[in-house]
């Protein structure tokens, strides 16, 4: 068995065996198989896809590439949440402390940005001193103490996924249902939670561009979860425009704090309450309506905000020191009209070029750059009114690139629903 034969087999659209997948992944982790060879295999997978059995086998191999976390020492029901990635998606930062403030334990292992989409760990690292790596013992103790911990992947937990994730980010191999499903579920299963709620983004700013593909991904992740005796629920949500107003790591943390104060954007708040209601309902065996009321009360009485502050403090962060670029550029509209559509993918790529994401594996994130959008789809815009405020250290950005992302029309367009569907087993 050798990697060339495996690449050729998948290039010819043939199904790989468990042994072949294991050979490729194990030898990539050990360094025997090089980046350029694995890139070829990933591209063949993107082009020719994988069967459900291949995907389940890939997930198994990635889990077995490292350690898993035993959460049996944690008291109470443990839930986890994941997003398939979008632009301006800071949901986890709001949702995790909110759910924990309701007495449900949140054990979360998050990723960095992937392609044009932001990453929870990058956002948290915009907080001065924030520690995203914990030992298993520290992780478990913190959850027992305050009900919440969010960590990055360690070298020992699903190392295969960590390596593939970074490689996919810079080789144009992010948009594969099987690679996305195995990446998410290997981390979720290794992290140990028994209840997993997944926000599957759909639209031009998401990895899943169509509702059809999103449903396939959701059902596949539920199938993998069932294989490992995990309860998985998937929420399909609209990513035809950025979520909330802020895009960029530090800016999104600021928006998180405002949301936990009850001042967040309506779309972001609605998504948080939808996801949180499912998590609380499953964990406490109550109705989603009851769960939603509990979540709203925790925002009103500031318990969710205090839980976020406690969480940041526990992981050595300074909530008063969030990195924000000092240079601001106001971008204004050239004429009147309604926002008909937003090229969310292109906006994500602009944020990435600003330095909010990575173009190569070794790029260093600029946590302070990004932008605040002042107008969303369906809203009226007047000539010379501020459309967006840019926070930057990069003087090469062409303003027209940003304004071209916004289509303005004379008629008010019909707004799409944020929550498309909820898929359960």
272 and 208 together in one domain? yes
Note the pLDDT of residue 162. 86
The total number of residues shown for the chain amounts to: 425
Starting at the edge strand found earlier in the chain, the sheet holding 337-342 runs 380-381, 337-342, 406-409
Average pLDDT on 339-344 reads 94
**CA distances (Å), origin 258, targets 96, 235, 262:** 15, 24, 6
Note the pLDDT of residue 118. 67
352 and 304 together in one domain? no
Average pLDDT on 82-100 reads 93
**pLDDT tens digits for 258-280?**
999 999 999 999 999 999 999 99
Domain that holds residue 183: 78-320
Is residue 361 included in any domain, yes or no? yes
* Residue in 61, 64, 132 with CA at minimum distance from that of residue 93: 132
37 and 180 together in one domain? no
* pTM for this prediction: 0.89
**pLDDT tens digits for 92-111?**
999 999 999 999 999 988 87
Is residue 61 included in any domain, yes or no? no
CATH of the domain at 143: 3.40.1030.10
- Let me know: does 148 contact 100? Beta carbons within 8 Å: yes
Average pLDDT on 182-195 reads 91
Q: Which of 153-162, 209-218, 308-317 has the lowest mean pLDDT?
A: 153-162
221 and 274 together in one domain? yes
Note the pLDDT of residue 207. 83
Is residue 71 included in any domain, yes or no? no
Is residue 55 included in any domain, yes or no? no
Question: Across all residues in the chain, what is the average pLDDT?
Answer: 92
295 and 398 together in one domain? no
Average pLDDT on 288-297 reads 98
Task: Report residue 154's pLDDT band, with 50, 70 and 90 as the boundaries.
Answer: confident
CATH of the domain at 42: 1.20.970.10
CA distance 169 to 68: 24
Note the pLDDT of residue 113. 65
What the block records as the tokens of 249 is: 């790591």
Residues that are catalytic: 82, 161, 168, 183, 187
337 and 315 together in one domain? no
210 and 145 together in one domain? yes
CATH of the domain at 371: 3.90.1170.30
Note the pLDDT of residue 394. 67
What the block records as the tokens of 40 is: 């070829």
185 and 168 together in one domain? yes
Average pLDDT on 188-217 reads 92
- Indicate whether 114 pLDDT > 70: no
**pLDDT tens digits for 359-373?**
776 778 889 999 999
247 and 368 together in one domain? no
Average pLDDT on 131-143 reads 91
Task: Report residue 155's pLDDT band, with 50, 70 and 90 as the boundaries.
Answer: confident
311 and 360 together in one domain? no
- Indicate whether 216 pLDDT > 80: yes
- Give the count of domains, the chain: 3
What the block records as the tokens of 136 is: 């298993």
Task: Give the rounded percent of residues in the chain with a pLDDT score beyond 90.
Answer: 74
* Residue in 363, 37, 16 with CA at minimum distance from that of residue 182: 16
138 and 179 together in one domain? yes
Report which of residues 227 and 364 the model is more confident about.
227
Which residues sit opposite 2 in a β-bridge? Answer: none
Is residue 230 included in any domain, yes or no? yes
147 and 279 together in one domain? yes
Note the pLDDT of residue 192. 86
Note the pLDDT of residue 223. 97
């Amino acid at each position: 068995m050798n990697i060339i034969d495996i690449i050729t087999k998948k290039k010819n659209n043939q199904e790989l065996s468990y042994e072949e997948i294991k050979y490729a992944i194990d030898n990539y982790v050990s360094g025997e198989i090089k980046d350029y060879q694995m890139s070829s295999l990933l591209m063949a997978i993107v082009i020719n896809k994988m069967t459900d059995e291949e995907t389940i086998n890939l997930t198994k191999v990635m889990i077995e590439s490292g350690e898993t976390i035993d959460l049996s020492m944690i008291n109470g029901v443990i839930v986890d949440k994941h997003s398939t990635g979008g632009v301006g998606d800071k949901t986890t930062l709001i949702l995790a402390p909110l759910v924990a403030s309701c007495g449900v334990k949140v054990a979360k292992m998050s990723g960095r940005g992937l392609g044009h989409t932001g990453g929870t760990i990058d956002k948290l690292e915009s907080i001065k001193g924030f520690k995203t790596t914990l030992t298993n013992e520290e992780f478990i103790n913190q959850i027992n103490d305050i009900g919440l911990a969010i960590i990055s992947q360690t070298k020992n937990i699903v190392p295969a996924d960590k390596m593939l994730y970074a490689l996919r980010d810079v080789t144009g191999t992010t948009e594969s249902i099987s690679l996305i499903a195995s990446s998410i579920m290997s981390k979720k299963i290794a992290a140990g939670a028994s209840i997993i709620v997944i926000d599957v983004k759909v639209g031009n700013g998401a990895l899943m561009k169509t509702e059809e593909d999103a449903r396939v991904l959701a059902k596949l992740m539920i199938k993998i979860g069932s294989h490992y005796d995990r309860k998985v629920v998937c929420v399909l949500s609209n990513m035809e425009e950025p979520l909330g107003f802020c895009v960029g790591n530090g800016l999104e943390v600021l928006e998180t704090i405002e949301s936990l104060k009850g001042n967040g954007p309506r779309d972001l708040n609605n998504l948080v309450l939808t996801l949180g209601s499912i998590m609380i309902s499953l964990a406490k065996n109550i109705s989603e309506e009851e769960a939603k009321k509990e979540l709203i009360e925790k925002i009103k009485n500031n318990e969710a905000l205090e839980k976020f502050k406690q969480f940041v403090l526990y992981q050595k962060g300074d909530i008063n020191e969030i990195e924000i670029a000092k240079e601001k550029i106001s971008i204004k509209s050239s004429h009147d009209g309604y926002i008909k559509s937003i090229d969310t993918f292109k906006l994500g790529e602009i944020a990435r070029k600003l330095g909010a994401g990575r173009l190569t594996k070794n790029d260093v994130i600029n946590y302070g750059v990004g932008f605040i959008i002042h107008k969303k789809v369906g809203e009226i815009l007047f000539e010379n009114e501020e459309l967006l405020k840019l926070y930057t250290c990069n003087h090469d950005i062409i303003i027209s690139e940003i304004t071209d992302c916004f289509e303005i029309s004379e008629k008010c367009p019909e707004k799409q629903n944020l929550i498309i569907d909820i898929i359960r087993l």
